[in-house]
Structure 1
């Protein structure tokens, strides 16, 4: 009986070893296939690669990072544009119209969306892409939501990796939309080259509900829905914003943020928007700011992932969650100070 146990155990070990080698070989073949197809511009395989990177399974994560390393030399050649806006500004309509005009002009456009609020419902922001149906059908366009995985840091990591995959697939314009409001604007500003803020007419009223900090993140302000009876007021709003922007700290050294009137309904103003972005690129590349910003983006990503990994590592340790919960109770009852609670978790040497 013991002899048979030994034989069975040895047999299981051999089979298990063969199975591991097979899985490894299969994963290598999958990476090679994904690499080739992504470089050819296959949207299907690009979606599969993004799903691989988003997977929480350890073997998928390793395979995804292996693919990303292989594709890395083919990244970085796009213009990364962040887009945010006040509620009701019509971001989706603007992005679809802008994306279609660029796609029709021969550009390859990828749209990625960030919504930290999706962590509450667990929902997918773009879902079936009904918000940008016409753009989603264009052969030069690719639309993908960025699930947050529970934190803004999760968004940070997934969106950046998705962006690199899109660049490797030949997308030369990446549009990153913030669906949520608040901290997400700062996160997106840290991963894009050019940042646009969409507003509506009536600058005086609008400023009451807009934080100065968000305006200072923008390289360009778009006064949207500048059409019909609203056109005259839109032009007035543009003038008001230009006056305001003159007194604010510019988002990019050597660049003066401006305001532009745009109508998605009439498809007007978009050429000026694109010319502004092209001028920005030329000036920033010539001055070295473009390269510096890209380096800053990489360092920001690196430090963000270190913080995320440390937090995950801390809470994965046995008893840490319970300890934090107990200390929180003591804090709320006034039994100890915040500094003392932190020392109890992370004692100083």
Structure 2
């Protein structure tokens, strides 16, 4: 009897050996929504070796220079001998599901670096543009031997919570601004940030950037100290992606924070909580998928029509639907 999961295990072995084509095929497989592909994807993930990279979530307002920063930061890391994967989640067409795969043109130098791997990922209809399979893609990149995985979000919004739940460090990239703009950054996003980097700290904007860093540093001091942070964190720093200033210091601070969390057990505790959250989200997604299959889909449609017509109470109809599912 043939082993239907043998191809998945072979692909996992090729990914673990660092074969770029195998990694691309593996990511395409896990992004597929076909039932047979999902079965193969589950087998693939189960066969991967357990390796750990530093996952860095990165968000920022449009126009802040995220792509320029990621390219400059990524090139600095590869220059240090590190392997860097960039998972950039793109906005998708609501009609066709296609994505704007422009990241390799936005990061032309980094995309040609043999120690870097850039994977644009269609967000489909997921909240805030965060691809449902980004967690799995990050897992693949870790298994492939990458040292740092950068996860870029499409902007400031609800997606930050999802990215923070799959990252070891969460970085907020902001542009030089005055006090009014400071009010525009939601408190919740600032509370999630481990580092706030004020980009474009060069030329005429350098003085403004310095003032902005001071403003954010003051705002961070007013926030409640988090138990998973050492003294002085979270903090705000100036950087210039164009000139490269501040990138080395930002990396030193990221490493220092990650090392402190490892030594105190917070790093592993955070990973464990993320794994549990991943498990629960997969269960929820699976249950919703079952509702779309017959006979549950017909029952769901019929009860929905009764609710819309006023012949059934929404709560009672929901209870009836859940009971029918057993």
Checking the alignment, whether the CA contact within 8 Å between 2:61 and 2:155 is kept in structure 1 is: no
**Are 1:50 and 2:24 matched, yes or no?**
no
Q: Structure 1 pair 213/336, CA: closer, same or farther in 2 (3 Å)?
A: farther
How far has the Cα of 1:323 moved from its partner?
3.1
How big is each residue's C-alpha offset from its partner over 1:267-309, in whole Å with a ceiling of 9 and x where there is no partner?
A: 1100011000110011111111001000011001011111111
Q: Structure 1 pair 80/250, CA: closer, same or farther in 2 (3 Å)?
A: farther
Q: Structure 1 pair 307/201, CA: closer, same or farther in 2 (3 Å)?
A: same
How big is each residue's C-alpha offset from its partner over 1:63-106, in whole Å with a ceiling of 9 and x where there is no partner?
A: 222222111x332x200000001121111111111011101211
CA distance in 2, matches of 1:310, 1:105: 45
CA distance in 1, matches of 2:67, 2:303: 41
Checking the alignment, whether the CA contact within 8 Å between 1:103 and 1:140 is kept in structure 2 is: yes
In structure 1, the partner of 2:17 is 40
Checking the alignment, whether the CA contact within 8 Å between 2:124 and 2:131 is kept in structure 1 is: no
In structure 1, the partner of 2:174 is 199
Q: TM-score, normalised by structure 1?
A: 0.84
In structure 1, the partner of 2:318 is 342
CA distance in 2, matches of 1:251, 1:95: 27
How far has the Cα of 1:149 moved from its partner?
4.2
**Are 1:105 and 2:105 matched, yes or no?**
no
Matches for 1:5-24 after TM superposition, within 5 Å: none
Q: Structure 1 pair 125/290, CA: closer, same or farther in 2 (3 Å)?
A: farther
Match of 2:50 among 74, 82, 87: 74
Q: Structure 1 pair 148/251, CA: closer, same or farther in 2 (3 Å)?
A: farther
In structure 1, the partner of 2:238 is 261
**Are 1:298 and 2:275 matched, yes or no?**
yes
Q: Structure 1 pair 309/288, CA: closer, same or farther in 2 (3 Å)?
A: same
In structure 2, the partner of 1:143 is 118
CA RMSD between the two structures:
2.5
State the secondary structure of the residue aligned to 2:282.
Answer: helix
How big is each residue's C-alpha offset from its partner over 1:119-140, in whole Å with a ceiling of 9 and x where there is no partner?
A: 5252324346212111111000
How big is each residue's C-alpha offset from its partner over 1:3-37, in whole Å with a ceiling of 9 and x where there is no partner?
A: xxxxxxxxxxxxxxxxxx67x56x62x33542333
Checking the alignment, whether the CA contact within 8 Å between 2:201 and 2:238 is kept in structure 1 is: yes
In structure 2, the partner of 1:65 is 42
Q: Structure 1 pair 295/287, CA: closer, same or farther in 2 (3 Å)?
A: same
Q: Which runs of 5+ in 1 are unaligned?
A: 1-20
Match of 1:90 among 55, 60, 65: 65
Q: Which runs of 5+ in 2 are unaligned?
A: none
Bigger radius of gyration, 1 or 2? 1
In structure 2, the partner of 1:120 is 94
